[in-house]
Amino acid sequence: MNTARSSFNKLLVHLIAIVVVIAVGAGIGTTIGPDEWYRSLDKPIFNPPPWVFAPVWTLLYIFIAIAFARTFLRDPRGPAMQVWIVQMLLNWSWTPLWFGLHMMWGAFAVIVALWVSIVAFILLTRKPDPISALLFLPYLAWVSFAAVLNGTVAAMNS
């Protein structure tokens, strides 16, 4: 009976994490998303079409949330959890800087810090929880690409 309750609680933590991370990310993305300013910017040839971003971020947010739940259940006050919180705050602050305030270089600084925090999370979790570390690898790849894109668009429009 206790094992069933523990499994249910773990599942509940995972589900709540997924809902919250996706809801906040989607809320930010839909209220402060691409506008006429963004559409008017010069962009490199490797800029993805707009429809790519929502499915990619939804999948990444699911992975990020699962890594949160696993980390929280393992050590809710440990260094990996602290780094997870930092990376999420950085993640959620990029969109308002870029789309809301049009601070391309400020957003670039944030995405570089986000990249560093993602790497830190991977390094902190690779031994105690390799699954969480692996869940962050696609996120690292996407943010690496996004940082190049952010820097390129900023340079093209400066």
Residue 66 has pLDDT above 70, yes or no: yes
Query: Quick one: average pLDDT of 75-79?
Result: 97
- pLDDT tens for 6-17 read 899 999 999 999
Output the domain CATH number for residue 35: 1.20.1260
Query: Quick one: average pLDDT of 41-62?
Result: 96
pTM above 0.75, yes or no: yes
- pLDDT tens for 104-117 read 999 999 999 999 99
CA 67/CA 109 separation, integer angstroms? 24
Query: Cα torsion at 149, 152, 155, 158 (round to 10°)?
Result: -40
Instruction: Report the pLDDT value the prediction gives residue 119, as an integer from 0 to 100.
Output: 98
Domain count, the chain: 1
Instruction: For the chain, give the percent of residues with pLDDT over 70.
Output: 99
* Domain limits for position 7: 2-156
Q: Which two tokens stand for residue 155?
A: 């340079």
Q: Which long-range contacts (CB under 8 A, 24 or more apart) does 74-83 make?
A: 74/128, 74/129, 75/128, 79/124, 80/121, 80/124, 80/125, 80/128, 80/129, 80/132, 83/117, 83/120, 83/121, 83/124
Residue 1 has pLDDT above 60, yes or no: no
Do the beta carbons of residue 98 and residue 157 sit within 8 Å? Answer: no
Q: Give residue for tokens 């990310």.
A: 25
